[in-house]
Structure formats: structure tokens, C-alpha cells
Amino acid sequence: MDDPVQQPYFYGRISREEAEGYLQRGGRENGKFLLRKRPTESQSFALSLCHGRGVIHYHIQHHSDGKYGIEDGPRFSSPTELIDYHRANQGGLLTNLTKPCNRPPGVEPKVFTNVNYSEVAAVQEAALSQLGIQDRRSLGKNHIPFEKMLGMLLHAKQSWFHGVISREEAESRLKKSGCKNGMFLVREREKAQGTYAIGLCHENMVYHYLLSADSSGRLSIPSGPKFLNLMECVEYYLNRSDGLVCKLLKPSPITQFNKKAPLPVPPGAAGESAPRTETIYDTVAIKKSPVYLNAFKDIKALDSNRLALQNKLGQGNFGSVLKGVYTLSNGKKIEVAVKQLKTDAAAQKTEIEHEARIMLKLDHPYIVRMIGMIHQATMMLVMELAINGPLHKFLRKHKEVTIRQILVMMLQVSEGMEYLDSKHFVHRDLAARNVLVVDVNFVKISDFGMSRAMGVGNDYYKAEAAGRWPLKWYAPECIYYYKFTTKSDVWSYGITLWEALTYGGKPYDGLQGQQVIQYLEQEDRLTCPLHCPESVYSLMRACWEFEPVKRPDFSLVKEALSDIILHFMQ
């Protein structure tokens, strides 16, 4: 195996002192060794080897021809080949490599301080996706854009990165954190975005070091070494001062400056018990709808002879969506939507059936119910029909719909999402296009094509690969790490609420995927829609907290929105 990460004796980026500690605890003996990355050089490695009573550290250089070697010794295509050679041949070493010092159980190799390789693996996929590259091997020698993108996706989650703040705010934060020697933070500069500055404490003073980018985008302080990204830069200065007043020692964590804001409560609502949603909308009218209750609840299998297909409603991911009429055994006819699988999409049959099995388990008024499957020349999924189509298109055509009516629709969406959460489902694609309108008072959540059931004991679904994903509706952790939870659905709910209150507006209109990521990293958020109540916009902002734990769950969203609606009704 040429990949060092797969070797149990590889520790990743650790210091000489850490390496000696591992070798000491493992019982220092001649020939015992480990492999590590050099903290101050991204492409170089080091071999730490026990000899006599000490530890010898050999620098494994990465040469311009892409090969690795120790000083003038033989060169190899990978550090593991070098290790294998010296396990059989002493060469220029003081002793043979006789016994690997393997990582203790639970210890993963580090890419950077507090970042291991398993965390980076997911981010690598995201970086390639953002660059539009499917295979990393196609990068060739031009790996700089990839390394820059990778670093940007990683630095956003680091406790030392404070986003776009002023020099004065940086000083204030460091002083509030105690301003001990070596305490630091990194900020993006307000007036020159894409450039950064390190704020560093020493002897009760705060020193600011500007990180400028050269023509290739490499970062450096004046006359300092150049780095592909902030991660490399911070790692370097954690291990040596080299132009700074002292080494970076301890971050001033951003978490203490991102306190969770309380959910908005309109005037007069404080102290009231949670309102019942039945007092908000006309439940009698809603319950008279043919799709409020499940008319197919007692039917175990659909009869294709009872299904009559009508006009085409639209095009789905796997085929056409048609309007149909299903005749019950008592003669009653019910309008339905039929998703008809393309004849050339047989490879997706398993995925479609998986979608259907998921939806058949769900039964809630504000979720489009899956009624069943019919297998003919093509497979058909029969679902409830919401005749007025997607919410964003409906609102673009019906500007007469009031703000209160929109809020009632979105209250129903919060109820449907609360139900999904109770069933341990993550939607993963909540958006106005996937909220279908029955009428102006009644909506349903649809399209579980991306949903996944969560196993017992799990609280998230982790995607295995990137894909053509709707980034503008995704929470940061979905973009960076493909991690989807009910809290990432809450973020998407905030975007959907914004879409509804802009009458089908396009979020981040004009921005591309990478620009959206930068927009969010700068702590920018979508602006308040015209005529949107301030309390509703505050709810949106609560849904868009960068850290998932700070976002409300759907039960709180429902309560907050109920209070807001009741306030307007009064």
C-alpha cells in the first residue's frame, strides 16, 4: 500500500516532541520507528527512529521529480516504499527499521492539528465537486486550486477562524479571552476579502500580521514563507515563530462570541402557553379536503385496472408525472399523481422502490402520501395529488396571497417536518419546489427521492459521495462534510420560508456555488424580504445559525411561528 495513511505506523502531521513521546511510551528500543508529516512542510515527511538512548529524525524530502528520499539516498515513489526498503536494507541509517511503533487504538493520523484524515476525506470530495472535477488524478501537477479549495472548506470550521471582522473587533475578542501570550485568532479582512490577518497576543499587546496573497493565491506575511491555504499557514506558526513575536499557542475560540439568540416572540406573546395550531387556520375546511385523511389507508395493494392515466403534469428525475384517477372498490373516484418510470431507467428501479418503501411508512396530512406501486411495462408510483403544483410557482402567479396565508402554509410545513423528525427521517431536499399546494390554505411536503431512513441510535445520514446537490438550500455542514441531520433540514426550512415570503424568489440569485460558500463563511445571510415581519426574519436567521446545535428544532419553529401568526390575527 503506497498511501501512508493506510499504514498503522503513520501518525500524520505531528511534532518531533510528539513522535518521541509515542516512541517512549511504546518502549524505546533500537530500530523502533514511526512515520510522520513534517509540521512545517506540507509535502515532506520525517522518519523518527530509536537508536541508543535517543531518537533520530530523518527528513524525507519530496523532490521536484515527485519522488521521496533521505538526503542523497535512493529515491522512491512514496514514503512507504522508502520504509519498506530500509526495513530490509540499513542503507545510510544508523540502524535498520526493525519494529514499527503503531498508532494506539482510537488514534487517527493528523492532517492538521485537531483535523484527522477521515474528516479531510469527505471535504476532499466537496472540494473536487466545487471545482467540477470528478477524479483527483485528473489534477495532474496543478494541485494548487484543489489545495486552496480544500483549505478554505476546512478553515471555516476551525475555532480560531472568526470570519470577516474588523481589526478593532479582533482586539476586543482577544482581550475578552484573556490575551495570554500566544493566544490568537485569524480573521478575513473587511476591506480586502480573500486576504486574512492573524491577531496574536504577547505581553498584553495584540499584534496584527497581514496575510497577503501573491499572483498565484499563496498566502504569506511580509518576507515570510508562502502557503496554499490558511490551514497550512496556522499549522506552520503553531510550530515556529519565524517572524512572529511568538508561536501561535491557543486559539481564542469563536464559539464564545456566537451565543445562541432566543427565538423571536411577538409583543404580548411572552408567557403564553404554546398555542394550538387548530386556532390559527380553518381546520374544518382543511379536513374536508379529499387528501387530508388517507383514503387508501386500508388498501394493501393497488389494482392497475382501477387506475386511469390522464394528462402529463411534469417531468421528474426518473420519468413523467401524470394526473390519474383511481377508482375504489366502492366506486368512489380519487384523483392521484402518478410517477411513471422511464423505460430506459431500469437501473434506477431499486432506488425508486426504496423511495416508495420509505414513503409508504409515512402518514401525515401535510406530507404527500405514497399510495402504492404498480408494475406494468413501466413501474408507476401512485401518490396523492396536490393539484396546484409547487409553492414557488404558485406564489409567482398569485401575488394576491397574503403574508398571513403564506405563514399558515409554512406552519403546516413545520408540522410536517416535525412529524418526519419524530419518525427519524431526514428530508435532505426541503425547498419551495418540494412543497405542493392543494389550495391557498393547504400544502404538503413532497419528493423524498433524497430521503434516507436513519438507523436506530443514529442521528444523521452521511452521504457517501458528492453529487448535483442544491447547495443554495444546504447548511454548511452538508456542503463541507455531506452530513445531513434534522438541523440541516431546519436550515433548508429557513430558505424555504424566505422563498415563500418573496413570492417565489430565487435565493442567492446570481451567485454560483463557490460564491454562496464564501457568502456564508463571511457570516452573510439572505436579506429580509419586503413586507416580511421582523419576527419572522429573526426566525429565519435562527434557522441559519452556522453551528447546527444553535438552530431550533422543528417543534420550536412551529411554536414560534404559531405565536407570530396569532399575534397578527389579534
Give the residue numbers annotated as catalytic, written as ranges.
429
Contacts of 520 (CB under 8 A, 6+ apart): 476, 546
CA distance 368 to 384: 6
Q: Is residue 535 a contact partner of residue 266, using CB atoms and an 8 Å limit?
A: yes
Q: Which of 60, 61, 62 is nearest to 49 (CA)?
A: 60
CA distance 488 to 493: 9
CA distance 418 to 437: 19
Q: What is the largest CA-CA distance in the chain?
A: 92
CA distances from 272 to 174, 485, 493, 564 (A): 41, 30, 25, 12
CA distance 317 to 546: 31
Strand partners of residue 437: 443
Neighbours of 178 (CB within 10 A): 10
Q: Is residue 484 a contact partner of residue 527, using CB atoms and an 8 Å limit?
A: no
Strand partners of residue 47: 35, 58
Buried b (16+ CB within 10 A) or exposed e, 463-479: beebeebbbbbbbbbbb
CA distance 362 to 484: 20
Neighbours of 184 (CB within 10 A): 27
Listing DSSP states for 258-291 in one string gives -PPPPPP--TT-TTPPPPPGGGTS-HHHHHTSTT
Q: How many helices and strands (H and E) does the chain possess?
A: 15, 25
What is the three-class DSSP state of 390?
A: strand
